[in-house]
Structure 1
Amino acid sequence: MPALSRFLRYFMAVGQHGSIRRAADELGISPSAVDRQLLNAEADLGAPLFERLPSGLRLTAAGEVMMAAGRRWQKDLGEVRDQIADLQGLRRGHVQIAIIAALAKGPVPAMIAAIQTRYPGISIGISVLDNDAVRAAIASGEADMGILLDPHSYRDLVVRAFVEVVLGVALPPGHALAARAEVRFSACADSPLIVPAHPLVVSEQLAVLEGATGLSPLRAATCDDSQMIASLVMQGAGLGILTSIDVVTEVAQGRLAFARLSDPILRPLTLALCTASVRTPSHAAAMALGEIEAGFAHLGYGGG
């Protein structure tokens, strides 16, 4: 290591232990070598870094400043080492991903697990948030990337990959409409419905649908969690107004059916993988991003 890093290691060890001898034991060198480094630094700085007391050494005001600088140096050196390791192909680092609750099961967890298998040196943090909170986490830098619905109105995000999803009705497999790929809202408006509430994005689409058709569904329950709506449908409490991503696992397992709502007023929703427009992803984030981008077109959320 450079001479500066040697001095800071010696200095910080003494500052932590309050003793040259104990610091030397930890470093595996002679006390005289540590003492010489401190004396040389104090001579160069023109200020003492420690008070020499009968009970040991205590940092002076100048020493406190140097200790803070040493901690910053340690952090910066760690980041530099991670970047160099990335360049050398060691692929280390941490990636924070924010997703909406509907993605907490099914293909997206499988994609994240595949990243960990391919890049074992990369640790991944996952935040499950509502749609607006995912956007905020990406924009603020709390998340390196995120997956959310309908991000195109946000100028602080860059869409890296996207797939369309549709609004529809989740039904028990034995329901009269279960064999149909698509239905009109009028076909199910007289049935008890589990209605999505804010902050679910589908609640806004349902309001548009009700306004355009003039129909007011029979509300068996109102819920702000898509997984609870799916569970209530499986329990026979009513039909659920959801997107194709909300029930992809249950439909694949035969526990629910899903029929797309074909009313012309409705438009497909966009499920998008996004990063912040003002930041360049780290090496680790870029590798994870590439893996998710590659798998995004195969998510199979089209419904129907």
Structure 2
Amino acid sequence: MRYFMVVARFGSIRRASEELRIAASAIDRQILNGEAALGVPLFERLPSGLRLTPAGECLLAEGRNWTRGMERVRQQIADLQGLRRGHVTVAMISALACGPMPRLFRALRQSHPGITIRANILDNRDIAAAITAGKADYGLMLDPPMMRDLVVVGSSPVSLGFVTLPGHPLAARQGARISQCANYALVMPEAPLALRHELDVLLAGLDMPISVAASADNIQMLRSLVAEGLGAGILSSLDVMEEVRAGTLCFTPITDRRLSPMMLALVTNRTRPASFAGRLVMGEMTRCFFERT
């Protein structure tokens, strides 16, 4: 299986031989033995290299599941031996790429140097699929969908609001309605950002024109445009928590009653047993985002 997966990755027995430091003839013999045992070809032999057949695609998917399963077994054995080692993959929205999450990872690294963490920054709509497919152990996302194997570990509301420079008129308000933005230039989020859907609900009931100075489908770009003074941005409280904390930007919640708060949720796959490392990371994320002191 290991030889097969490397050949599938490179599409070449010669390159797989170099990667594995195993004779090409030995790798080719194992592939031929596998095809004979299964009764189907796993690769198409082309002048440009090897290409997976439909049967090969099925075996590659199973091989990836096998690899993940073996990693879980190793982690469980390490737990039993008290080694307290492991690897955890966390998928998250880009708004969490700075601030509490990096600080949380640093603290975990200091307290448990045997644990490694991989952060995958994904579009919100892709995180649930990554969790159910086993590509990530945990996910931090907005408004998770109802899926059979997806379970919500913790959740908390996230506000939508105006993001401005400190001297902007909206910055002095405790809250503002969407109709009160008509006199100001706006920096607008675009799809596929999750908050665009919430914003469309508000704009659909607005009977006055708005002035759009700029728009973007990237949170960092929206923050930068607001910081450059192009206008008042519309973002979530998560998107600017570090800037608000530093005093470089201000956040004014939108108070329209039609607006339903988004939910930040920590999700995982209900069918996958949690390792020691996974339980530890999950607990720290729960305390960071969902426990009120």
Fold similarity call, TM over 0.5: yes
Task: Determine whether 1:219 maps to 2:234.
Answer: no
**1:239 corresponding residue in structure 2:** 232
**2:54 corresponding residue in structure 1:** none
Deviation string, structure 1 residues 73-98 (Cα, Å, up to 9, x no partner): 99998865542221232111111111
Please list, as runs of the form range in 1=range in 2, the aligned pairs for 1:80-91 lying within 5 A after superposition: 80-91=73-84
**2:250 corresponding residue in structure 1:** 257
The structural deviation recorded for 1:204 is 0.6
Match of 1:228 among 211, 221, 228: 221
Q: Which range moved further: 288-297 or 131-140?
A: 288-297
For 1:165, give the aligned amino acid.
V
Please list, as runs of the form range in 1=range in 2, the aligned pairs for 1:173-184 lying within 5 A after superposition: 173-184=166-177
Deviation string, structure 1 residues 193-213 (Cα, Å, up to 9, x no partner): 111100111111111001123
CA 1:78–1:190 in 2, change beyond 3 Å: closer, same or farther?
A: closer
The structural deviation recorded for 1:214 is 2.8
| Aligned-partner SS, 1:242 | strand
For 2:205, give the aligned amino acid.
A
Cα RMSD for the two superposed structures: 3.0
**1:189 corresponding residue in structure 2:** 182
For 1:296, give the aligned amino acid.
F
Identical positions, percent:
43
Deviation string, structure 1 residues 12-57 (Cα, Å, up to 9, x no partner): xxxx789xxxxxxxxxxxxxxxxxxxxxxxxxxxxxxxxxxxxxxx
Task: Determine whether 1:287 maps to 2:273.
Answer: no
Higher Cα Rg, which structure: 1
For 1:280, give the aligned amino acid.
P
> In structure 2, how many angstroms separate the alpha carbons of the residues matched to 1:294 and 1:195?
32
> In structure 1, how many angstroms separate the alpha carbons of the residues matched to 2:184 and 2:72?
58
> In structure 2, how many angstroms separate the alpha carbons of the residues matched to 1:99 and 1:288?
14
Structure 2's unaligned 5+ residue stretches are 1-20, 35-65
Deviation string, structure 1 residues 282-301 (Cα, Å, up to 9, x no partner): 3321221122122222589x
Match of 1:201 among 180, 194, 212: 194
CA contact (8 A) 1:167 1:242 kept: yes
TM-score, structure 1 length as denominator? Answer: 0.71
For 2:81, give the aligned amino acid.
Q
The structural deviation recorded for 1:231 is 1.0
For 1:203, give the aligned amino acid.
R
| Aligned-partner SS, 1:213 | coil
CA 1:101–1:140 in 2, change beyond 3 Å: closer, same or farther?
A: same
Q: Which range moved further: 162-171 or 206-215?
A: 206-215
For these two proteins, the number of residue pairs brought into alignment is 241
> In structure 2, how many angstroms separate the alpha carbons of the residues matched to 1:60 and 1:259?
64
TM-score, structure 2 length as denominator? Answer: 0.74
**2:130 corresponding residue in structure 1:** 137
Task: Determine whether 1:156 maps to 2:128.
Answer: no
CA contact (8 A) 2:131 2:138 kept: yes
| Aligned-partner SS, 1:247 | helix
> In structure 2, how many angstroms separate the alpha carbons of the residues matched to 1:166 and 1:269?
7
Structure 1's unaligned 5+ residue stretches are 1-15, 19-57, 67-72
CA contact (8 A) 1:181 1:258 kept: no
For 2:163, give the aligned amino acid.
A
**1:126 corresponding residue in structure 2:** 119
CA contact (8 A) 1:145 1:275 kept: yes
For 1:90, give the aligned amino acid.
L
CA contact (8 A) 1:210 1:216 kept: no
